[in-house]
Chain A
Amino acid sequence: MTMPPKPPAIGARRPRLAVHKFSSCDGCQLSLLNAGESLLALAERVDIVHFAEAGIVDEHAEADIALVEGSISTPEEQTRIQAVRSRSRWILSIGACATAGGPQALRNLGDSADWIASVYRRPDWISALPASSAIGAHVPVELELPGCPVSTEQVLAALTSLLAGAAPLTEQDKVCLECKRRGQVCVLVTKGEPCLGPVTVTGCGALCPGLGRDCYGCYGPAENPEVATLAERFGDLGLDAHAVARRFMYQQSGAQPFHRAARDWRQRARPAAPPAPGAESGAAPGPQPDGSTDSHD
């Protein structure tokens, strides 16, 4: 549990808020837009200087607090995030893309040049980085709020805390604890579903298990996530190695604990071929030794 840094000292004037977008679906911005009356209350306490989904556009504006949505996926974004950093006193990354690379980080598990060549007739027209990565991999970030999409309540609570002069508290609890608080019944124990609740941080309100579905980890790994232990359990439940790997290959495959599990179980899934050199080394995103591209299924 780490302490976020001090909120920016703003003084008497109204703080300025910017909402920036990088590679993403805009869903996190929409979460904020969906805040309704709270958004009006927010607008009374801060000057919203840039928020494209809300029709306010001035991406070069200086801001006390910047909410950043999306991952860094292209060379242009690599440059632009530096500019955002230099104009923002406090950066709050919101959502799975901004905090872990998002679903587009699935390409980090394969060879993106191969992918591009297999999808586009003119690969040379595509300008993309080989990997999609979190905002925090490029610039220092004061706080990260995960989730796909981010929770409106969490964003508002963080802003409320910042405006009160206190560092925001971030959610630490696992989905299981929130699931039990809500009186929901465990889908892993009663149905053998491969639920990611035991390793995923809550914030969603244990939404999926509450609907009888297994959690697919869209808020990403919790602190102290025993991912390897849970993956073994999925194997015991009858999932083949491919299926175990796929459990960790949704929006959060770029988060290191999930990335490692996906990589390790894809290697187990491979038919008994001689082990590739260096197959066990390093956790860094990179192409698979066999160039497999099964990560988008």
Chain B
Amino acid sequence: MKAAAGAPREAQVLSRTDETADMFTLHLRLTDARARAAYRFTPGQFNMLYLPGIGGVPISIASDPDRRETLDHTIRAVGRVTRVLAQLRAGDSVGLRGPYGRGWPMHDAEGQDLVVVTGGLGCAPVVAAIGYVVARRERFGRLAILQGVKHSADLIWRERYDAWARLPDTRVRLAADKPDHHWGDHIGLVTDLLDEVQLRPDRTVALVCGPEPMMLAAAGRLARLNVPETRIWVSLERGFQCGVGHCGHCQLGPYFVCRDGPVFRWADVGWLLGTRGF
């Protein structure tokens, strides 16, 4: 679905989930029934959430694309807009534009092994893709889900990881750089875990999302494991404002990240991401 540039539509907060001290999920519902019926998205796309008088912010859609009634957005309250979004309660309204961008290559990935490597809140842009795979488990090969956090207290969705770990042919590993004493999983970087899952490089598709240094490290590790750069996909962020490649804030070399991405093949963007100024 290609969203037009234009005014936002009203969405109501049906409910919210507090994930951690500063992370929360808004479960939104477009108020207009027709808009709701017409709304389609693919995993990895994002919406612009907008508060009148304050501004807008791009947030990836974390819910299942098949669940049509609500759109989930998991947000960390760190900026001036997200801090106000964090004050929203059930019944409040926001403006919503989207969906925007090009999502994960779900069709290309069918029949392939999948390794999902995420860091911090990088799990949010990928969770819809995991949900998509889990709902169609038989269409995909091995599934490995690797999530890393800095502090163990930052880990969200523990119960989902536990549930995914019980699926057939599915491995889930979690890593914390600074764990508390209850932490029972890997201590260190999430990229370390790539050596532990038995990748079949020629039939693996990697979905990577997190801070850019983490994605650089993950892509480097995957390349050393002989996964071709065309099979490594990353989701990027830039200062999206319009969402349709008009405002130019998201330029990355030859790309508009909001329109040509946010999901890219590493082969296309890896050469720019290590370069200061891009």
Contact = CB atoms under 8 A, between A and B. Distances in A.
Interface of A: 3-4, 6, 160-161, 164-167, 169
Given A4-B80, A6-B83, A161-B53, 5 more contacts: A3-B80, A164-B53, A164-B84, A165-B84, A169-B55
A166 B84 CA distance: 6
Contacts of B79: 3
B87 interface: yes
Contacts of A169: 55, 80
A166 B83 CA distance: 7
A161 B54 contact: yes
A4 B53 CA distance: 17
Contact of A160 (B51, B53, B55): B53
24 contacts: A3-B79, A3-B80, A4-B80, A6-B83, A160-B53, A161-B53, A161-B54, A164-B53, A164-B54, A164-B84, A165-B83, A165-B84, A165-B87, A166-B51, A166-B54, A166-B55, A166-B80, A166-B81, A166-B83, A166-B84, A167-B80, A167-B83, A169-B55, A169-B80
A224 to B, nearest CB: 13
- Of the listed residues A160, A161, A166, A169, the one surrounded by the most CB atoms of chain B closer than 10 A to its CB is A166
B80 to A, nearest CB: 4
Contacts, number: 24
Interface of B: 51, 53-55, 79-81, 83-84, 87
Nearest to A163: B53
Contacts of A6: 83
A163 to B, nearest CB: 10
B215 to A, nearest CB: 24
A164 B84 CA distance: 8
A169 B84 CA distance: 14
Nearest to B86: A165
A167 B55 CA distance: 11
A7 to B, nearest CB: 9
A6 B78 CA distance: 10
Chain A interface, >50% SS class: loop
A164 B81 CA distance: 11
A3 B78 CA distance: 10
A297 to B, nearest CB: 43
Contacts of A166: 51, 54-55, 80-81, 83-84
A165 B81 CA distance: 10
Contacts of A164: 53-54, 84
Which of B53, B55, B80, B83: most chain A Cβ within 10 A?
B80
A4 B79 CA distance: 10
B60 to A, nearest CB: 22
Contacts of A161: 53-54
A197 B54 CA distance: 28
B70 to A, nearest CB: 25
A173 to B, nearest CB: 14
User: Lowest 4 CB-CB distances: which A-B pairs, in order?
Assistant: A167-B80, A166-B54, A166-B84, A166-B80
Contacts of B81: 166
A164 to B, nearest CB: 5
Nearest to A6: B83
A161 B53 CA distance: 7
Contacts of A4: 80
Contacts of A160: 53
A172 B79 CA distance: 17
**Residue from B51, B53, B79 whose CB has the most chain A CB atoms within 10 Å:** B53
Nearest to B81: A166
Contacts of B87: 165
A36 to B, nearest CB: 21
A6 B77 CA distance: 11
Contacts of A165: 83-84, 87
B233 to A, nearest CB: 30
A166 B79 CA distance: 9
A161 B81 CA distance: 11
Contacts of B55: 166, 169
Nearest to A165: B84
A176 to B, nearest CB: 18
A4 B80 CA distance: 8
A165 B83 CA distance: 9
Contacts of B84: 164-166
A172 B83 CA distance: 22
A116 B81 CA distance: 50
A6 B80 CA distance: 8
A224 B133 CA distance: 47
A161 B79 CA distance: 14
B75 to A, nearest CB: 15
A292 to B, nearest CB: 42
